[in-house]
Structure 1
Amino acid sequence: MIKQNHIQGSTNKAMSGYLAPLVREIPPSGIRKFFDLVSASKEDIISLGVGEPDFSTPWHVREACVYSLERGNTKYTSNAGLYELREAIAEYLYDSFQVPYEPSDEVLVTVGGSEAIDLALRALIVPGDEILIPEPCYVSYSPITRIGGGIPVGIETFAKDEFKLTPEALKASITPKSKVLILCYPSNPTGGIMSYEDWLPIAKIVEEHDLIVISDEIYAELTYEQKHVSFAAMPGMRDRTILVSGFSKAFAMTGWRMGYACGHRDLISAMLKIHQYSVMCAPAMGQVAALEALRNGMEEKDRMMESYNQRRRLIVHGFREIGLQCHEPQGAFYAFPSIISTGLSSEEFAQRLLHEGKVAAVPGGVFGLGGEGFLRCSYASSVNQLIEAIDRIGNFLRKL
């Protein structure tokens, strides 16, 4: 005890000094901040904050996992993942989005899509490389880029363009140090999507400037009025694109942490090196569940999509009725209403809405350029909760 106290006394005052300055300076996730506030509260708060389906993982998927455990399948798999799962992923991507991959060396199973993005950036970044990131975007891209030694370069997108990446904005952001373009369509947090026609000029610029693309397509199955177009399916883009996706959103499997990356064998081989030294392999039982989801989970996925579409229309109409402008999201399960008319910053609006209106949503400013003045609201909640949330937000606005 004396020795322990001596150690504590000599280090506590400067313990943060042992941390890498880069890590010390990175702020915590703005999304998790509001999630933690809701979790800690004992009040009746409706959360529209976290991007998580309110559905449980389909029973047959859970059952496949349980049966696998009962048979004792608890050992390591191949570093790249179960071959049957990689085969199923490759078949799914070809059938759904017309992108061909070889399961043996062009598909890597990861611990969620987040690990896949991290692996891709660590495999590609040389310190000082600029990583182009259309914003508003998922909060992880810039911090992971910085940790990897890269320089994140935000490209602002706008509601008037339905938050699409325009060729003009992309061109204006490219410098001789530009190396990677990160894409996330359908978009978290805006719900924006890109069509084949939208992608064509982007693909041309990518080729002209010899960029590598990380395409985060985790919401590919969540589009409402037109089918998702994978950037990897564009002419000439397959080999210079790392397609990242997973099972969290479409199959209601967030806690399973099952993702994957697909791409040219040289890129996947480099990512596999990092993966095998850092996590060895994705959990075996989760891989069994993911395989079952791909083989037999499409009907449940379609039923969930019908429900999301109903909620999407409800929440957009609700925001417009209470006086908040809101573009119509065409993908994912987020609405991104403008709160500029209130005169409050997005952070102040979200804080006051939480404490005074008892509704949790994420301030748009945490998502980067173009996010300030907006609020991300997940509609992956029950219809009754969404109706009540809109009513509470309306009352909050009237009191303002």
Structure 2
Amino acid sequence: MRTPKRIAVTTAATLAAAVGLGGPAPPAGGARGDGPIGAGAWSWFGDPRAVYYEGAHRRTYVGWISTHGNVRVASIDGDTGRIHTVTLKHGLGVDDHNDPSLLMLPGGRLEVFYSPLYYRVMHRPEDVTSFGSTHVLHTNTPGRLGWTYPNPVYLSREHRTWLFWRGGNWMPSFSTRRDGSSWTDARTLIRTRRGRRPYVKVASDGRRTIDIAFSEDNPDHIRTGIYYFRYRAGHYEHADGRRIPGGHPLDEFDADRVRPEKPGRASAWVHDVASDSQGKPAIVYVTYPSVHDLRYRYARWDGHRWLDHEIVAAGKPLNGPYAGGISLDHENPSIVYLSRRIHGVFEVEQWITVDDGRHWAHRAVTRHSSENNVRPVTPRGETGHYTVLWMHGRYRRYTEYVTTITRKGIGRAHRLF
């Protein structure tokens, strides 16, 4: 069960004082295992990129596609700081679409999914040296457009793994597997208007609910918006709990229209979704008022309606439509990690709200960097700590990057607030 990080403040003013706005960045090397982990990159549409598990050990597991096109996974021991890295696939290709997504199974065995249609699982809990042989998922939606962006989810109430990806028809697709069974035939999750290819983000409480947020397409192609629905206990439904009738695929217009696309409104691209301990979802995304003016925004369901507020200007894009990146702390989605351009360089920051996004306080994670820091993320399942991972270096496009996955622990909750 999710245990949220508690924020012991009640107003934006006291929050700003507690976080220490304008104070020094958290000290480098403040936690064991801080610093570079491995050369490579990741996309934000395949998740989880990092997970935390506490059993016999306290370890964080991280996956990436290397600068040589190898699928790599590392474990970082929270007590000793030791980093142990293994290669699961050699020569898959220098392309951030190939980065692995990690699923921690009950009992501490890690399962890793990566394009195209491969997965491997640990034989021994908490041991990255014990991955078994490579399996192939022999199912996909019709079409010749491949398989990418794996997003695995395990629901304990169903004893079932759900795997979402972008399929052969370029649509969000999925298959499920009950414990001890084989995968079901792939199905299309969402149906959109002709010529569109939706981008989807997935999150789960690990028990019975899956949150799904999406945009209709890449904002470079058409005007796009933000939409939401969820799976809960055998049904699809809106954020207010109303069931969505029908089967698969769902029509894009059946979802909550959090920020629908319309003439005159800036396009939006989804970056993350997560729900709090009460099941209220939050979504972070970027908008494009102009080519050189990107904005980070935060949408939150308050139990009655969607609230939508700007967080901060993101600055000019990294390249094309790419912002520096923004993600939610999945253990407490009132905490956001983002990368924005400061004095010409992308820096990572932690932003916090106590009133559903109306007001924010923030602190630096990186500062005065010589190279960019982009696509920050926190390990799923880590509570009581703040650990951030990101890409550091030069990123030009999805097949051209000289970046390093980097980690920094920035303290425990009681030290921050």
The TM-score with structure 1 as length reference comes to 0.24
Structure having the larger proportion of residues in helix:
1
The TM-score with structure 2 as length reference comes to 0.24
**Structure whose alpha-carbon radius of gyration is higher:** 1
